[in-house]
Amino acid sequence: MGKSRSMLVRFMDEKPETIVLTEEQKRSRRARSIAIALALGALVILFYVVTLVKGPAVLNRPL
């Protein structure tokens, strides 16, 4: 009981292993995040403009 308790305490004291990104990886991740944000923003604008263009017909989608 005492042994397992001390093992548990030691496990909780250890820092979890994490991945440390290099500067290059951080830069590319940031650039990718910006690109995704811009793409999503463009998609929102596109849907908004198409809704204005189509008006009520936006709900009419015959196959």
Partner 1 sequence: MSFVSENPDFAAPVQSAGARVGPSVASVSDYVALMKPRVMSLVVFTALVGLMIAPGHVHPVIGFTALLCIAVAAGAAGALNMWYDADIDAVMTRTAKRPIPRGRVAPGEALAFGLTLAGFSIAVLGLLVNWVAAVLLAFTVFFYVVVYTMWLKRTTPQNIVIGGAAGAFPPMIGWAAVTGGLSVEPCLLFLVIFFWTPPHFWALSLNRTSEYARARVPMLPVVAGADETRRQILIYSLVLAPIGAAPWLLGYAGAIYGVVAVVAGALMVGLAWRMKNVRDGRAGEHAANQLFAFSILYLFVLFAVLLVTGGPLTQSA
Cα(30)–Cα(33) distance, rounded to whole angstroms? 5
51 Cβ neighbours under 8 A, 6+ residues apart: 58
Q: Which is nearer to partner 1, 4 or 60 (CB)?
A: 60
48 part of the interface to partner 1, by CB under 8 A: no
50 part of the interface to partner 1, by CB under 8 A: yes
Written as six digits, the tokens of 59 are 């709900």
37 part of the interface to partner 1, by CB under 8 A: no
Under the rule (CB under 8 A), what is the footprint of partner 1?
19, 21, 24-25, 28-29, 31-32, 35, 43, 46-47, 49-50, 53-54, 61-63
